[in-house]
Amino acid sequence: MPQTVTPAIAFPATAFKAHDHRVCCGDVMRRAERMAAEAGLRLTPVRRRALEILLEEHRALGAYEVLDRLARSGFARQPPVAYRALEFLVKAGLAHRIRRLNAFTACMRPGEAHVPAFFICTRCESVAEAVLAGVGAAMGEAAREMGFEIERMNLEAAGICPACHGEEAAP
């Protein structure tokens, strides 16, 4: 099923810019809750906490790191608990899997059809999600020409974020 996407880079990559992270997380959580309710999805306490953990910082977290944080929050320290919660979040469109890092990050645009592009800092591992509609449209057109149906797509770029780049330049 073809996706409609938002205009190219309609949303700046917040992770690399100064912002009130509490507002950022609160807004995403409210949209995620609304989207889940509208879709009839159940955000159980462990799923909700896993999403909150992913929203705590702009970087991708491995399943075991999520598991550790879930355990500190009082949930069972069993790998299937974290893996099932993360799998649900990804399938529901509330989180993304960053394959390059074998880790997960919260979707910053839950409920919006988009092709996410991830910019991953190779030094601090911060992750910024942006929307690159032009690339998604080009991939979609190439797929249609081949008779291929894209089910899921995300783009990953590795490099150095502005903060780490600034550290490099510091005396």
Q: Is 8 within a domain? A: no
CB-based burial of residue 111 (10 Å sphere; 0-12 exposed, 13-18 middle, 19+ buried)?
Answer: middle
pLDDT at 20: 57
Tens of pLDDT along 27-85? 888 988 999 999 999 999 999 999 999 998 778 899 999 999 999 999 999 999 999 99
Backbone angles phi, psi at 102, to 5 degrees: 50, 55
Residue 111 in any domain: the answer is yes
- Dump pLDDT digits (tens) for 69-126: 999 999 999 999 999 999 999 999 999 999 888 999 999 888 887 888 899 999 888 8
In a domain, 120, yes or no: yes
DSSP-based three-state secondary structure for 77: coil
On whether residue 1 sits in a domain, the answer given is no
- Quote the Cα angle for 12-58-122, to 5°: 95
5 within domain boundaries: no
> Does residue 6 form part of some domain?
no
pTM of the full predicted structure? 0.78
Q: CA 124 to CA 108: how far, in whole Å?
A: 19
User: Does the pLDDT at position 10 exceed 80?
Assistant: no
Q: How many domains does the chain have?
A: 1
Q: pLDDT at residue 3 above 50? A: no
Q: Is 4 within a domain?
A: no
Q: Supply the CATH number for residue 18's domain.
A: 1.10.10.10
**Residue 95, domain extent:** 14-169
Is 50 inside a domain boundary?
yes
